[in-house]
Structure 1
Amino acid sequence: MKASDYPVIKVFILFLIGFLLGYLIFIPSFVYILILLALTFAFFIFQQRNEFFANVLIGFVVMTFGAFVFSSKFYTNERELKILDALQKKKVLLYGEVSGVEYLDKEKIQFELKVDSISYRKVNFPVNQILLVNLDLRESSFSLNYFERIISVGNQIRISGTLSNPPEPVYPGDFNLRLYLKSKNINYILQSNNFDELNLIKENRSIFNYKRLLSNLRQKIKFQIERNFDLLEAAYIKGLFIAERTDIPDEVKNSFVNSGVIHVLAVSGLHTGYIALILLSLFGRFNIVVRVILVSIGLFVFAHIANLSPSVIRASLMSVVVLLGLLTQRKNILLNSISIAGLIILIFNPLDVFNPSFQLSFSAVLSIALIYPILNDYVKKLNLSGFTKLLIDLLLISIAVSIGTFPFVASYYQKFSIISLIANLIVIPLTGFILGGIILNLIVLNLIPSLFPIYKSVLVALIDFNYSVVNFFGNLPFAYTTIKNFSLMNSIAYYLVVVIIAGIVKSRFNPLFKFVSIALIVFNYVYHYDLLDKNIVERNKNYLVLSKMSNSNVILLSSNERCFLKIFERSDSLFHTKKDLNKLNQLTENFGIDKFNLASFSTHSIFLKNDLKNKLDLTRIKRLDDKIWLFGKSDEAELNDKILVCPRYKFIKNSFTEVFTTDDFHIVVSPLNIERVSDKLSNEQLKIIWIKPQLDTVFYKINSNGFTAVSLNFEKQRMKIYELRNEGLKEIKW
């Protein structure tokens, strides 16, 4: 096709370049407006005189407009942010309108609140911010219906709670909740369990409040699913149909990640495409105009049921563009369709560019549009037909999508599934049948409930078979490979390599030359991966990791292939500690730790099912105290008056002090004040690191000059990494 066939993609690319400029360089909005006016004026002057220069000016207009749109959302009101920063960890009273309900059950309600006023100590501050509110219902005596009536889309409410910033990633590669919420224009979270100060100020009863109607429909579907299916089945159906994956167990998600089919749990273009096909079949008897209108309305409703996920919006907009093309009898080009969808989404919500759903969705469809045709050109020569051609097409699409989305998958999941091409051939068609079954079951449940058990049994059988397939592929020893710390530089280099290889494939060079060139390029990229990667830790060095997770304080020592782990549980919340242990397991994989020589746990949660247990010595378990468990070989000893002589580990019961010894350092974890023992250790040529369980300060002594204090601040970063050097501790930034 000619370049003129892709007019919108050019505009879309220039618009994204403007986003990048707006991200890198802050310019006030009024300056952008002046630049836009000047460029537009220049365009009208040169439009007739110099066509080439006029086109260049149009390009600059699009880029400047993109930078203006991005900046207007990304750089929010500084005055308001300073007010909110000052009110962090303080009890405040908010007034605002409920703009969306994210999650609702008997234990918690999570919703978005468009705040117009904040009150602190009877002083009101006018603001214009969207906050994420987590309302804890576990201590409430009110019914869920009571809260549903108050927390409904469009209602004006008053609520009190504690303000906080969204947490930063705990470890390198952890999910960045702060950036995700930023993509939804949310900068702060309110934690609340005060039901006395939750009041309905004004109820929105307008018949034109479609958001409330669709939100209520979503909640009704959710409750029907939960009431009529088992926990695991309900969790899967909710993830597949209404984009709510909260209740899917971590081990199930891991199986989907390992087998390379995690995308089916994120409501996306695949699901929207199936919904569009189902709607087209249902409305097949109507004429083309009515059919396009009804399918568009159906996709609009489904997008709201799926909580307006960017990937669903993209797929719905693309479907509508294709349908309008059929209606106007115009040729549709996939690249133009996706560009139109991208422009509409980013103009209305430019921060969606940070959303993983947006990134994965658009990179997948662009891969189908750009990479699949290149692969298909070679397959056409085989003259395949029928089922074989369909199977090969599915395989080629899967390969194209894997190539295009690899940097995002590697960044967000730190894994690349080797088995995904085969798993997708089974799981993707099966997902279509399951989606159709979900819709059919919901219709039967509401219209002919007596027949529901029959339809339910078929749907449950399909879901169980799907689980079996995913578990089989996900548990294969060669199912996936781990990708550690895939950086922005890696991603840029990767896409450059893909572009170069695509150019070589489409060239007229000798096939042998093409093969050798591509092999050399791929080899060099893989070989130099570590040079491109921003390595956080290096092998054969000693590292101390200190982290404050949601319910645990963690001390991790990695020293010359010997690893020690200490965990303190801050409260008796088994649920949160289990999540901490699973996150800690991911951290140890990033550090390349396969086994801990010794691990000490001040918690009972380790005996719950979690991923970290595989890295512990379960053959040697010793109970040191009521809540202290040791995994690995140990010896008991006491602190000598003159010298600290100990094997690899000692536990001093009367002071709850634990000592772990490496070849160079003695790591002491103790609630005692350092002053009580500093005199006993000051004259010895020992390298000692003294850590208190609350992780407020670290003391270290390298020589006889005494201890040096390092204050720990976990306000902005919940994990600190230190390299243990002969001259002291060096913090590693990440």
Structure 2
Amino acid sequence: MNRYPLIKFALFFIIGIIFSKYFNSSIPVLFISSAVTISLSILLAWLKKFNLSVILVYFIIFVAGLTYSEVRNLRSVSYPFEDPKINNALLFGEITDIDLIQNDRISFKVRTDSLFANKEYYSSELILLTRVFDKNLSRTFEKLKIGTKVILKGTLQKGRETRNPGEFNYQKYLESEGINGLFNIYRKSDLKIVDDQSNFFPQFIFELRKGIDEKLSRFHNKETYGLLRGLLLADRKLIDYETREEFINSGVVHALAVSGLHVGYIMLIFLILFNRTNIILRISLTIIGLLFFLLLTNSPASVFRASVMSITGLSVFLLNREYNGINALSIAAFIILLINPNDLFTPGFQLSFSAVAAILILMPRFSKRIEKLKLKKFYKQILLFASVSIAAQIGTLPFTLFYFGKLSVIAIFANIIVIPLVGLILPLGIVSLILGSFTPWFGFIYGAANNMLVTLLFNFVGLFSNIPLAFLDVINFSIYDGILFYIVIGFILSKTFYGFRLSIKFIVILLLIINYFLYSKFDDKSIIKENLLTLIYIDVDQGDAFLINFPNGKTALIDAGNATKYFDTGKHIIHPLLKQLKIDKIDYAFISHLDADHYLGIHYLIENGIIDTVYKPVTDLSVRKEKEFLNFLTEQRTVYRYYHQNILSIGNTSLYFLSDTTDFVSKRFDSNNKSGVIKLIHGDNSFLFTGDAEIPSERYLVNKFGKFLDSDVLKLGHHGSKTSSSERFLDFVAPEVGIISAGIENRFNHPSDIILQRLEQMDINYKRTDKSGAIIIQSDGENYKFIDWRNFDTFTLSN
């Protein structure tokens, strides 16, 4: 460690930042702990156990990291309003940053001067991520400048928080980026530019980014354009969800990010361009070029790290000093954390630095082993290349499992093909930009060649990701699991382990692996348990979706929420939740009726082979969407059945279908009143699901079933609308608890105040997904209880 003095400083600074985040430290506590530590250090120094000056230096660095993080966090941002969503808000402010245009939106940050919302005036400064959703946004985008004053009318809202178990907290991410909340505009006419002023340098960089983006779009097809936009401009928004998933499954998602590989190419290009100048000028201009590229990419952690390390390497070469990668990496980390200590807790920082640190630590060991092998040079080069991938995989494994929940089995082999391909695509993209700027013909020629390479790349990645067992789902990998992993790796790399005989090493590694899996289970907690009935009322915004895990392990889904071109509930909420629960198959899917907010989300689940059997109302062939859905089920070869009054026994539970959509009375109902109504009985506990059934359907149910409707828990009809939940119906159901599934501040004003007052008057407790997020109930057949899933910090949702 004496060769790497800077890493000690960086580590103690990092420990201070971590201490600040995870331990509530106040100034008095800090002073007391400092006094105790200094006193202990003096005592140890007096006893000649430690070097006092060294201890004090490290302690000062630790306190500096802690204090600096505390001071920075005093300025931390949050969403300041009580209402999570405020319609018709009016904002006056200044554009501080602009994203590159997307297919269906433009996004930019606004610093507010004043804000009028909920009939109140706010003058405090906020940073809001503003998104404009409309058609033909190109002209509007061209008018925007960094520094321009604007007046905006739209919806002010909080970013989506963790509304369901295991879900990504978007609001927390926004706050980590210094953004208070979102401001959505749905008509471009609601964006008014007050003046044409701009901030020169930020606008200059943005115009360059925009110009490069336009040329990339002009010279390449859609797929190549999206990839190069990510590789050169650090904007991956045009890379579609399916492609990113394939890269994750193949273990090569890092290839989509701007990284050290790209910085290396940029440095090489500048060195070649300035080859005829003297060494001092050439390196100086190259450093300026790297800094310019850093600004051009909006300074993501990976580019910052690679740029600092490259600049350090060029500087020590110029000064005729020895370059040390560990020290350069430490400098990069220290500078980034000085700018923003919270970057330590971002995936980009963690993945980038852990990968490079592992390569710097492990590659010398791998290289020595490979050099001893009696192989041809070509094969040794392949092994060295594979070793770099292995080292990076080891270093990033805990973070990969924590953020993506997948362990790619074929990552090493995929990297051997993918990285060289990206290594060709990137410089070819740069060449097409440079030559195309002078002669468009060259841009199209090189662009066409790149299109072929990208097609080849995507085909390879798609092939790798679809190989059986190409990746394993690793659910809820925790921070503690990651720490334990690094402890095991540290021991394997230690001198103690190095001194063991080969047979002893094998036994020790085997024992370490066994103990790792045993200890990693200690912090696992389970929500879903065997032999219990678990019901999850999923928060899908304005819609319905309810997941049932039966005591015998079978699963059912009642409705699946909505799907639009902006957001697919099946893809982005239900499927990730199923993965968290380790549920591969839905045995029974019950579609209450064919309103968009109840059934469109199931398309994605059916297309991906997750749904076994679908139950639905009888098809009315005169209604286009019903005919299309029936055709869809037929094309997907999905088994479907119509609701009629019967009983479905699953384990020791019974599902009673109370709606018969084939009888004469039901056929006269409208779509809402044709909703499939299901009563679930588990021992002494019962649960009633009513879809969007309204008063006519409720009247029919009361007349036909009377007291059989009595249930412990009622899912209120039509999201708590006043057209449902009549007093007579509630009298017969007599629920202890009512569940209302509705979106936050939805445009229908669900649930109705009339219904809420009725529930209170009838002494019926109620819970709302728009207030609570997902609602989870567990029943053992005698009693049922609500599960406070938010208190599960790290948990395994199923056994």
Alignment partner for residue 9 of structure 1, among 1, 7, 10?
7
Deviations 1:451-506 (Å, cap 9, x if unpaired)? 33321221111111111211121111021111111122222222222222222675
1:239–1:265: 8 Å Cα contact kept in structure 2? Answer: yes
RMSD: 3.9
Q: Which residue of 1 aligns with 2:97?
A: 100
What is the match of residue 127 of structure 1? 124
Aligned in 2, Cα 1:125/1:377: closer, same or farther, shift over 3 Å?
same
Which consecutive residues of structure 2, in runs of 5 or more, have no partner in the other structure?
648-652, 667-672, 739-764, 791-799
SS in 2 for 1:400: helix
Say yes or no: does 1:144 pair with 2:144. Answer: no
Cα shift at 1:719? 2.8
Seen in structure 2, the aligned counterparts of structure 1 residues 332 and 472 have a Cα distance that, compared at 3 Å, is: same
Question: 1:564, 1:596 within 8 Å by CA — same for their partners in 2?
Answer: yes
AA at the equivalent of 2:235: E
**Mapped partners of 2:510, 2:778: distance in 1:** 38
Query: Residues 131, 479 of structure 1: CA spacing in aligned structure 2 closer, same or farther, 3 A cutoff?
Result: same
8 A Cα contact 1:278 1:436, kept in partner: no
Alpha-carbon offset, residue 663 of structure 1? 6.0
Decide whether aligned partners of structure 1 residues 403 and 121 sit closer, same or farther in structure 2, where only a CA change above 3 A counts.
Answer: closer
Aligned to 1:657: 676
Could you say if the C-alpha distance between residues 255 and 605 of structure 1 is closer, same or farther in structure 2, counting changes exceeding 3 Å?
A: same
The 1:516–1:460 alpha-carbon spacing in structure 2 relative to 1, beyond 3 Å, is: same
Give yes or no for the alignment of 1:434 onto 2:425.
Answer: yes
1:170 CA drift (Å):
4.7
Confirm whether residue 594 of structure 1 aligns to residue 584 of structure 2.
yes
TM superposition shift of 1:525: 1.7
State the identity as a percent.
26
Shift of 1:530: 3.6
| CA distance in 1: counterparts of 2:85 and 2:448, whole angstroms | 50
Equivalent position of 1:304 in the other structure: 295
Q: TM-score, normalised by structure 2?
A: 0.80
Shift of residue 435, structure 1, vs aligned partner: 0.2
Which residue number in structure 2 is paired with residue 637 of structure 1? 644
Deviates more, 1:277-286 or 1:444-453: 277-286
Q: In structure 2, the residue corresponding to 1:133 is in which secondary structure?
A: strand
* Partner Cα distance (2:41, 2:202) in 1: 42
Match of 2:789 in 1: 733
Q: Decide which moves more: 60-69 or 540-549.
A: 540-549
**Secondary structure class of the residue paired with 2:285:** helix
Greater shift, 616-625 or 86-95, is seen at 616-625
Q: CA deviation at 1:426?
A: 1.0
Q: Which residue of 1 is the match for residue 64 of structure 2?
A: 65
Q: Does 1:114 align with 2:111?
A: yes
Alignment partner of 1:691 is 2:719: no
Question: Relative to 1, partners in 2 of residues 1:562 and 1:295: Cα closer, same or farther, differing over 3 Å?
Answer: same
Instruction: Tell me whether 665-674 or 375-384 shows the greater mean CA deviation.
Output: 665-674
2 CA distance for matches of 1:328 and 1:694?
74
CA contact (8 A) 1:548 1:714 kept: yes
* Cα distance change on mapping 1:10 and 1:588 into 2, 3 Å: same
Q: 1:36 to 1:708 in 2, by over 3 A?
A: closer
Partner of residue 402 from structure 2, selected from 398, 411, 415? 411
1:101-250 alignment runs, 5 A limit: 101-105=98-102, 107-120=104-117, 124-138=121-135, 144-149=138-143, 151-193=144-186, 195=188, 198-205=191-198, 209-250=200-241
Cα distance per residue 1:638-688 (max 9 Å; x no partner): 599xxxx98675644433233265765665321347996689878669866
Query: Is the 2:140–2:188 contact (alpha carbons within 8 Å) kept by the matching residues of 1?
Result: no
Residues 585, 611 of structure 2: 8 Å contact kept: yes
How far apart in 2 are the matches of 1:200 and 1:386?
A: 63
User: SS where residue 298 of structure 1 aligns?
Assistant: helix
Partner of 1:15, secondary structure, is helix
Check if 1:578 corresponds to 2:568: yes
Q: Report the Cα offset of residue 169 of structure 1.
A: 3.6
Find the counterpart in structure 2 of residue 707 from structure 1: 736
User: Following superposition of structure 1 onto structure 2, how do residues 615-626 of structure 1 map, counting pairs within 5 Å?
Assistant: 615-617=610-612, 624=619, 626=623
Of 676, 689, 706, 1:669 maps to 689
Describe the SS at the equivalent of 1:162. Answer: strand
CA distance in 1: counterparts of 2:735 and 2:771, whole angstroms:
30
Structure 2 counterpart of 1:341, one-letter code: A
In structure 1, how many angstroms separate the alpha carbons of the residues matched to 2:571 and 2:641? 23
2:205, 2:178 → 1: CA distance?
Answer: 22
How far apart, CA to CA, are the structure 2 residues paired with 1:345 and 1:216? 26
Q: Identify the residue that residue 563 of structure 1 maps to in structure 2.
A: 555
Aligned-pair CA distance for 1:704: 11
Contact 1:299/1:316 (<8 A) preserved:
yes
Shift of 1:588: 1.4
Distance (Å, rounded) in 2 between the aligned partners of 1:227 and 1:33: 61
Shift, 1:398, TM fit: 0.9
- Residue of structure 2 equivalent to 1:356: 347
Alignment of 1:227-376 (within 5 A): 227-376=218-367
Aligned AA for 1:71?
E
What residue in structure 2 maps to residue 380 of structure 1? 371
Tell me the amino acid that sits aligned with residue 677 of structure 2.
E
Offset of 1:551 from its aligned partner? Answer: 6.1
Q: Tell me by how many angstroms 1:732 deviates.
A: 4.3
The answer to whether the 8 A contact 1:504-1:514 is kept is: no
The 3 A distance-change label for structure 1 pair 704 and 127 is: closer
Partner of 1:132, secondary structure, is: strand
Tell me which amino acid in the other structure corresponds to 2:73.
F
CA distance in 1, matches of 2:84, 2:655: 49
Unaligned runs of 5+ in 1: none
CA distance in 2, matches of 1:91, 1:75: 31
The answer as to whether partners of 2:405 and 2:474 remain within 8 angstroms in 1 is yes
CA contact (8 A) 2:616 2:676 kept: no
Task: Confirm or deny: 8 A CA contact 1:577 1:605 kept in the other structure.
Answer: no
Residue identity matched to 1:114: R
CA deviations on 1:101-120 (whole Å, 9 max, x unpaired) are 12424631111223344344
- What secondary structure is seen at the aligned counterpart in 1 of 2:612? coil
- In 1, are the aligned partners of 2:128 and 2:181 still within 8 Å (CA)? yes
Distance in 2 (alpha carbons) for counterparts of 1:72 and 1:93: 32
Moved more, 299-308 or 473-482: 299-308
TM-score relative to the length of structure 1: 0.86
Give the count of matched residue pairs: 716
Q: How far 1:359 moved relative to its partner?
A: 1.1
Q: Is the 8 A contact 2:605 2:611 kept in 1?
A: no
Q: Secondary structure at the match of 1:227?
A: helix
Q: Distance in 2 between matches of 1:298 and 1:600?
A: 59
Q: Which amino acid is 1:637 matched to?
A: H
User: Is the Cα–Cα contact under 8 Å of residues 367 and 404 in structure 1 kept in the other structure?
Assistant: yes
